[in-house]
Amino acid sequence: MAAAAATRPYGGVMAVLPWGRELTRADLDDLPDDGHRYELLDGSLLVTPAPRPMHQIAVGEVFVLLRAAASGSEYVTIMAPLEVAFSDVTVLQPDVLVVRKADLDDRGAAGVPVLVVEVLSPSTRRFDLGTKRSAYEAAGVAHYWVVDPEIPSLVAWRLHEGVYVEVAAATGDETFHFTGPFVIAVVPSDLIRPLGG
């Protein structure tokens, strides 16, 4: 089978990927650890650049809140990068996820997370609001949140009869109350407060 070589800007070979077939989780092993996020969606490679500071601050704040809320339960909260294999050809890395401890293996999350959070950035906005949202919905992720640090805001969806239904939206200093498998209150402006001092 033919293969394609992706090259670095200065001519070095970065990775060799096959042509003419869907990529699989095994193909991800051949990709470099270069600061990019490599994911698969229905066998197609998604590559996003290293995130900006505001994105990572929001990710960290969401992680801290969720970790505290899930403490002592059957769930664990994890930040990217961590693979969630929904199938051999769909392997995503949510910014933050809450998964049952029993669903972790030595490579990532083998089971479907109960909650996935994506923090928007210029390079991921379209994927997070469209393609990834649809993938999480199809995989049966019960709760999906999107945080926009630019506004700041949080929109939450819950899976109902196989379809995401928006259950809450909060902006600025408004409080979002989550009563899923654990109880938590989130104020979107607090997720980026470290930038403002």
36-90 per-position pLDDT tens digit? 788 888 888 888 887 888 999 999 999 999 999 998 889 999 998 888 999 989 8
The dihedrals phi and psi of 27, each to the nearest 5 degrees, come to -65, -25
pLDDT in tens, 105-129: 888 888 899 999 999 988 778 777 8
Rounded distance between C-alpha atoms, residue 55 and residue 62, angstroms = 11
Q: Where in the chain is the domain with CATH 3.90.1570.10?
A: 53-196
Our measurement of the distance from residue 152's CA atom to the centroid of its chain's CA atoms, rounded to an integer in Å, reads 18
Residue tagged 């923090």 (tokens)? 119
CATH superfamily entry for domain 53-196: tt1808, chain A (3.90.1570.10)
Q: Is 11 exposed, middle or buried (0-12, 13-18, 19+ CB in 10 A)?
A: exposed
Please give the pLDDT value at position 1.
Answer: 38
Average pLDDT over residues 2-15: 43
Q: What is the pLDDT of residue 7?
A: 40
